[in-house]
Amino acid sequence: MRADACNTFRLWSGAPRPAAPSAASRRPAGRTPAAPEFPGRGSEGFERAYARWLTAHADAARSPGHAEWLACARRWTALDTDGDGVPDWRAIIDHRPAALLTPEDDDIDGDGAPNLLDPDPFDAAKRPPSGEAGVPRHLRMSGARAEAQATLLKEFGLLAVDHTARHGRDALEAIARFLRDARAARLVGPATSVRILYAFRGHDLEHESAAFHRELNAISLAGEPRARTGTGLSVTERARLLGAFAHELGHAFVFDRLGARELDRVARSFGGWDAGAADAVDMFSPALFAPHPLRALAARVPSGNGDALKFIADARWKQASLVSQYATSNAHEWFAEAFSAHLLARARRSATPSLRGPGLLLLPRRSGEYWVNHDNLASTFDAYLGETLQRLH
């Protein structure tokens, strides 16, 4: 078996790594739970989840390397360090095989400390110091970054964690101010699935700026862009960062609060999605991943800034609340883009706005980039979002 057939997610920069399972790894005797196989996040157990995926993807299961991945995944998901009937790791994420395994058990070693807050989540003998408050010592930043990190945790229950990149102080401060200005504190912390803010090297502030990781209760962002020079975020970088963060909050809101049927309903009612398509029954229903009827047209951006600006302000986009070209990808992305536009507008209307000026407006400068025009958010959908968020308070 290749060593890289599957790997386990490292919980923070420099975190201990679990011991690799042996070929003889088995679930502890007498610890095979009744159906559903184990509790937590609605999981159904690796073998059942894999069988469900296999039913629809038999051809993919014959692809090169899949047999090695399956052997690797079975060994890791058979581990149950504390013998509580909950496997340590999951290998099926969002109904698909994952090369990077994430914790299934929130407390792998069973010492009472959640994995991320435990200085060694794989050794019950190593626990956090008793009486420790605030950011755990092994996750604590230094200097001005530490103050910004502590503020996010104290005010919003959001723990910022350095991972493959370092969080910038400017970014953490901007997010805290944005959450206040947009009155969005209830979208993060203990009351939601967003409790962790990772900094990942794979993100940047121009392209893929952020991601929502439902299985980790986390959003990941681009790390500090100018760690060597010490300069802060530019106005454009701050707008991109906060727009991306708000977009991922939109994804989390759909999973935490809205649900598949309501997303399907609002996409048809406010977004012009195909009314004749089959109804969505869960978050991964085909209806929620079909492209918008205007997707091909939205890609035909004319050359020249003047013509391009007229194009992205076309009334057809506003009728469907298409605030970006990317929003035409599917209903999930459409909602998240509109959610971002709504929250950024709320932040601009605050008494001491963290963002100033008009809504985000971007033209594609090179192949692979999308246009953005937050002014395309229709007043009816904007009102729906406001009323829906109001119910959280």
Judged against a pLDDT cut of 90, whether residue 330 lies above it is answered with yes
Specify the pLDDT at position 4. Answer: 64
Kindly state whether residues 290 and 348 are assigned to the same domain: yes
Contact 21, 80 (CB under 8 A): no
Specify the pLDDT at position 29. Answer: 40
Contact 227, 191 (CB under 8 A): no
Token pair 């246009």 is at which residue? 371
Kindly state whether residues 232 and 339 are assigned to the same domain: no
Number of domains in the chain: 3
Domain annotation covers residue 128 = no
Provide the β-strand partners of residue 7. 100
Of 67, 84, 117, which residue sits at a domain end?
117
Kindly state whether residues 382 and 273 are assigned to the same domain: yes
Domain annotation covers residue 49 = yes
Token pair 């890791």 is at which residue? 76
Q: What is the pLDDT of residues 154-167, one digit of tens each?
A: 999 999 999 999 99
CA distance 349 to 209: 24
Contact 359, 373 (CB under 8 A): yes
Judged against a pLDDT cut of 70, whether residue 364 lies above it is answered with yes
The pTM of the full predicted model, rounded to 2 decimals, is: 0.89
Selection from 204-208, 241-245, 328-332, 368-372 with the highest mean pLDDT = 328-332
Q: What is the pLDDT of residues 78-136, one digit of tens each?
A: 999 999 999 999 999 988 999 999 999 999 999 999 999 999 999 999 888 877 789 99
Contacts 24+ apart (CB under 8 A), 199-202: 199/160, 199/161, 199/162, 199/163, 199/164, 199/165, 199/166, 199/167, 199/223, 199/224, 200/163, 200/164, 200/165, 201/163, 201/164, 201/165, 202/164
Is the pLDDT higher at 277 or at 241? 241
First-last CA distance in the chain: 52
Judged against a pLDDT cut of 90, whether residue 41 lies above it is answered with no
Going through 179-293 in order, the beta strands assigned E by DSSP cover 196-200, 210-213, 218-222
Domain annotation covers residue 2 = no
Domain annotation covers residue 169 = yes
The whole domain housing 356 covers 268-390
Specify the pLDDT at position 227. Answer: 41
Contact 116, 12 (CB under 8 A): yes
Judged against a pLDDT cut of 90, whether residue 353 lies above it is answered with no
Contact 298, 325 (CB under 8 A): yes
Amino acid identity of residue 349, one-letter, is R
Kindly state whether residues 233 and 292 are assigned to the same domain: no
Q: Where does the pLDDT of residue 239 fall: very low under 50, low under 70, confident under 90, or very high at 90 and above?
A: confident
CA distance 87 to 77: 6
Domain annotation covers residue 252 = no
Helix (H) / strand (E) element for 317: namely helix 315-319
Domain annotation covers residue 53 = yes
Residues 6+ apart with CB under 8 A from 279: 261, 264, 285, 287
Specify the pLDDT at position 36. Answer: 32
> What rounded mean pLDDT belongs to the chain?
87
CA distance 120 to 109: 9
CA distance 131 to 24: 40
Judged against a pLDDT cut of 50, whether residue 345 lies above it is answered with yes
Kindly state whether residues 290 and 384 are assigned to the same domain: yes
Kindly state whether residues 276 and 386 are assigned to the same domain: yes
Coil vs helix vs strand at 154: helix
Phi, psi of 92 (to 5 degrees): -110, 115
Kindly state whether residues 94 and 166 are assigned to the same domain: no
Q: What is the pLDDT of residues 192-216, one digit of tens each?
A: 899 999 999 887 766 668 999 999 9
Of 246, 280, 299, which residue sits at a domain end?
246
Of 84, 117, 150, which residue sits at a domain end?
117
CA distance 11 to 7: 12
Both tokens of 319, joined, read: 């009728």
Kindly state whether residues 313 and 365 are assigned to the same domain: yes
